[in-house]
Amino acid sequence: MATKIKLMRLGKMRAPHYRIVVADARKARNGRSIETIGKYEPKRDPSFMEVDSERAQYWLAVGAQPTDAVAAILKVTGDWQKFKGLPAPEPMKVAEPRPDRKAAFEAASRNNTEAAAPDTSGATTPRRRRPAAEKPAEAKPDDAKPDDAKPADAKPADATPAAETPAAETPTDETPTDETPAEKPAYE
C-alpha cells in the first residue's frame, strides 16, 4: 500500500487549520487516515507547527512520501534534515508566551489600591481625582503684597459687608402675597 504524509484541512472559511496525517495515497484529502502525527496553523503569527518527530521519522523510514506542503513543514521543523542526515536548520521562530492575565490583573489592582487614598466616606466607588488644571489655586495672604499693589476700588478693612447691615432698614411686616391665596369657602 502506498502511503502519503499529507495535510487534512480543518477549520472554517478563511481560518484553516491542518492536521499532518499519514493516509493511503488513494484516499481523499480529508478522508480516512492511518495516523495523525502533527498540527499546522498557518494563520497564527508566527505560524504554528507541531510534529511528532519520532512518528514522522518512522513513517519516512518505512517509505511514506510527504506532499510538497508537508515536506516544507518537515524542513522547517528539522525532521527532514534528520531523516536525510543533513545539518539541522536554524531554530524556528516561536511566538512569545502570552502574559498571565490573572497576574496582570492582580498587579494592576495592587497599584490602584496603593495609589488611592483610603476612603472613609463609606462609598462603594472610589473618589474621582481632579486633574491638575481643576485644582484650586492657593490664595496668597494680603500681607505678602505691598499696599500700592492693591486695586484702587478695594474696601478698607473696617468696612462692614452688606450682609451685616442692621435689620431696621428692611421692612419687618410681611403682607400676604398672591402666592398664598386666602382660603375661600367652597360654596357660599
pLDDT of the chain, 188 residues: tens digit per residue: 789 999 999 999 999 999 999 999 998 888 899 999 999 999 988 889 999 999 999 999 999 999 999 999 999 999 988 888 888 888 877 778 888 888 888 888 888 776 665 556 666 776 777 777 665 666 555 555 555 555 556 555 555 555 555 555 555 556 555 555 566 666 75
Task: State the cell numbers at 84.
Answer: 536525510
Contact 79, 73 (CB under 8 A): no
Model pTM score: 0.51
- Single-letter amino acid, residue 85: G
